[in-house]
Homo-oligomer: A and B are copies of this chain.
Amino acid sequence: MTSLQDYSEEVRAEVKQVRETVATLHRQLIQWNLVVWTAGNVSQRLHSADLMVIKPSGVRYEYLTPQSMVVTDLDGNLVDGAEAPSSDTASHAYVYRHMPNVFGVVHTHSTYATAWAATGRNIPCALTMMGDEFGGPVPVGPFCLIGSEEIGKGVVETLKKYPFSPAVLMKNHGPFCIGKDAESAVKAAAMTEEVAHTVWAAEQVGTPIEIQQKDIERLNDRYQHVYGQN
């Protein structure tokens, strides 16, 4: 087994920083009401080496510290950490290996997103916020068992068909979200739950009006290129 001592000082410094980032972002999952008890996990891939930092398995959120975050390589092998890594480690690793622009992955069981996942229905694109963030519907991915890289494969295959979406609702399971770093992926997880809840609520009082494709494209283009600070 490789050890963190086998890596350069630059890599070890990035590990230290990413451990802090990933530990802190787990609090955002609580703040935005995306997880219960120990469910859910955040990881971030390093830029200086083929490593990732991920939540330990089955640890309560209030006990997470930067030091408790686990470091693995991109095959999911343990490199540093006192705890066993998340059950979803192999799937995070699969996503990083197959999507080179992705440096953050987040998984939650957030209530309304998971409700859509339990029915197998994509969330129809009826909100400008969806045009902005997802460039269309939020897609459902295949049913997969937990513990292997099968989920990661399902995420990657689904995103080939929905290249603008940062989220896949894994059937019967819950959302997996990606981003250019862990913070972007956490944002995608928060937005996924918000649009899942809103379109769900819309269906109870009427028929959500789907936005036309040309308008979705204009929303998404502006959002990706103009919104926010440079």
Task: Report A's interface with B, CB cutoff 8 A.
Answer: 32, 36-39, 56-59, 83-84, 87, 109, 111-112, 114-116, 118-121, 126-129, 132, 143, 145-147, 171-174, 187, 190-191, 193-194, 197-209, 211, 215, 218-219, 222-223, 226-230
Contact = CB atoms under 8 A, between A and B. Distances in A.
26 contacts: A36-B190, A36-B193, A39-B129, A56-B229, A57-B228, A57-B229, A58-B228, A59-B229, A84-B228, A84-B229, A109-B129, A112-B201, A114-B198, A115-B198, A115-B200, A115-B202, A118-B202, A118-B209, A119-B208, A121-B205, A129-B173, A132-B146, A143-B211, A145-B218, A145-B219, A147-B226
Given A146-B132, A190-B37, A84 B230 contact: yes
Contacts of A132: 146
Given A57-B227, A206-B120, A226-B147, A201 B115 contact: yes
Nearest to A39: B129
Contacts of A118: 126-127, 198-199, 202, 208-209
Given A109-B129, A226-B87, A227-B87, A209 B171 contact: yes
Question: How many protomers of this protein does the assembly include?
Answer: 4
Given A84-B230, A121-B206, A147-B222, A200 B201 contact: yes
A1 to B, nearest CB: 17
Top 7 nearest A-B pairs (CB, nearest first) are A58-B228, A119-B206, A115-B201, A118-B202, A115-B202, A128-B173, A118-B126
